[in-house]
Amino acid sequence: MKTVSMIDTSSFESHMDGLVGMMAVMAIAQRTELYNKAWQDIVDLVDAREDLSPEGKQDVMNEAGDELKKRVDGFVESRKAKGYFK
């Protein structure tokens, strides 16, 4: 069996975007174990960047957290607008 990645890993940015997207899906689906795995994958990806200082790595992690919040909040708001939540 061949595993096919759903995440574009051709660049750091696309890989990070895919992982944040996966995390957002897992957060919305309330899949805690997979959400935590996706977060660990992000930590590992950022930690592997030798060109970033510890502060730079923290900035990337903060940006990932902000993007995650934006995506999840956007999903919830879109569902509220469609009347799924009161």
Provide mean pLDDT across the span 38-64.
95
pLDDT score recorded for residue 13: 92
pLDDT band at 84 (very low <50, low <70, confident <90, very high): confident
If you search the block for the tokens 């009347």, which residue do you land on?
83
Output DSSP code: residue 83: T
CB 27 within 8 A of CB 35: yes
The CB density around residue 42, as the number of other CB atoms within 10 Å, is: 21
- Domain chopping of the chain, boundaries: 35-78
Tell me the pTM.
Answer: 0.83
